[in-house]
Structure 1
Amino acid sequence: MPLVTAKRTGLVDQVIAQMRELVSSGEWPLGDKIPPETELVTALGVGRNTVREAVRALSHAGLLEVRQGDGTFVRATNEISGAVRRLCGSELRRILEVRRALEVEAARLAARACTEADLARLETLLSERAAALRAQDHERVISNDAEFHRELVAASHNPVLASLYEGISEAVLSSVATTFDPAGPPEEHVSHDELLDAVRDGDPRRAAEEAGGFLDELLDRIGPAQE
């Protein structure tokens, strides 16, 4: 394989970083159409394929939206905001159902297998999440919440389960962002403290119940799947 492949990959990453900065800084305003491909090629000094790969990556991340025949528009200013728009209706329900299946078993196993290091990481994430809630830093609340669930699955010390969960990590982040209500008072948000207590106490049954309970509430809230 020619070494140019590695160089090309680096170039795409550089263009992605530049375009992401244009979006996050507001130079490309939310809802506006970005410059056409020909202008981007000239301005960035790269080929069409590089621009197309960068646009494709940022579209997948939720920052851009390609509308066939109309152009490419700024959809969100960051990945978390983009994630909020990705899931809805029956798609959200299916993700929550899969999360429930994996997270309930992970919590049960974590109550038996977690280490002191696992507990320390989980405690830190919940502490940071609570601080973010008080500061109304919604993006940090969402990212800490998603990371807490990922670390809880890792604490099961079941590599197959952890690998399966990692495979849906982007969907998990989207589901957390979609179901988070920034307008709600901090005391109404699920704390996960009781879930962590159950894991710390080595109580598999209670840990599984806590892990499934809040997801059942979310499933009830969004209603039955629409066929």
Structure 2
Amino acid sequence: MTLLSKRSLVEQAVDQLRERIAHGAWAVGQRLPTEPELATELGISRNTVREAMRVLAFSGLVEVRQGDGSYLRTAVDPLRALQALSRCDLAQAREARHILEAEAIGLAALRRTDEDLKGLREALEHSSAHYHDDLERYISCDLVFHQRMVDAAHNPALSELYRYFSGVVAATLHHNLSHAPRCQSVFDLHGQILDAIEQRDSDTAKALSRTLINES
């Protein structure tokens, strides 16, 4: 069974918006319709539109300007080069995360800055507030935390690869957390990984990351 067979409403909204972009609905640099307008057009909630726009911003298609709206950044979807990701099954997605995410986090433990740590603590706090609450909101916050861990490796190639891969991570989380109760001990691994990064303990950071990937 592929991840796409268990797509969330957010993923479906992302697909519809990508299709419109690919067909030239908006010009590069053009301001996109507001969240209420898109919600009406797509027949979905404003919250779903908001989360979909965040995914598009992560992928580099859309630029969200605080207080001003969302603008089309490029009409060429960066994810097309990685279309195989959407066909990953759960085991394949886990393998890819081990290779990309765990190794990047090991580097983050060696290269992180105090500013990285500050951003990671803030992201983890936001994620923690939603772990036992709204699933879509939690996944959105969790992706920010994981992206910031990878970013702390200070390797632009790894950061961009993981940004492209974030859709698969989101789908994996949605599938697993929808089919099993949320376990606090699994979430607590995030804090333990952050502690290892702060202590510049690369081996422990990688080991904990692999445990989290296997259990989440």
Q: TM-score, normalised by structure 1?
A: 0.57
Gaps in structure 1 of 5+ consecutive residues: 1-5, 27-56, 58-85, 219-227
Aligned residue number for residue 39 of structure 2: 20
What is the one-letter code of the residue matched to 1:174? A
Distance 1:24 1:13 in 2: 16
Q: TM-score, normalised by structure 2?
A: 0.60
Change (3 A) 1:209 1:188: closer
Aligned residue number for residue 48 of structure 1: none
Q: Quote the offset at 1:114 in angstroms.
A: 0.5
What is the one-letter code of the residue matched to 1:100? H
Q: Quote the offset at 1:216 in angstroms.
A: 2.5
Q: What secondary structure sits across from 1:21 in the alignment?
A: helix
Aligned residue number for residue 164 of structure 2: 167
How do 1:75-114 residues align onto structure 2 when only pairs under 5 Å count?
Answer: 91-114=89-112
Distance 1:186 1:174 in 2: 18
2:134 maps to which of 128, 137, 141? 137
Could you give the per-residue CA deviations for residues 92-143 of structure 1, whole angstroms, max 9, x where no partner exists?
A: 2212211111111111100110011111111111111111125x12222111
Change (3 A) 1:15 1:203: closer
Q: Quote the offset at 1:181 in angstroms.
A: 4.1
Q: Is the 8 A contact 2:193 2:209 kept in 1?
A: yes
Q: Is the 8 A contact 1:150 1:165 kept in 2?
A: yes
Q: What secondary structure sits across from 2:27 in the alignment?
A: helix
Change (3 A) 1:12 1:148: closer
Aligned length: 154
Q: Is the 8 A contact 1:145 1:176 kept in 2?
A: no
What is the one-letter code of the residue matched to 2:147? R
Q: Quote the offset at 1:172 in angstroms.
A: 1.9
Bigger Rg, structure 1 or 2: 1
Distance 1:185 1:158 in 2: 32
- The two structures, once aligned, show a CA RMSD in angstroms of 3.4
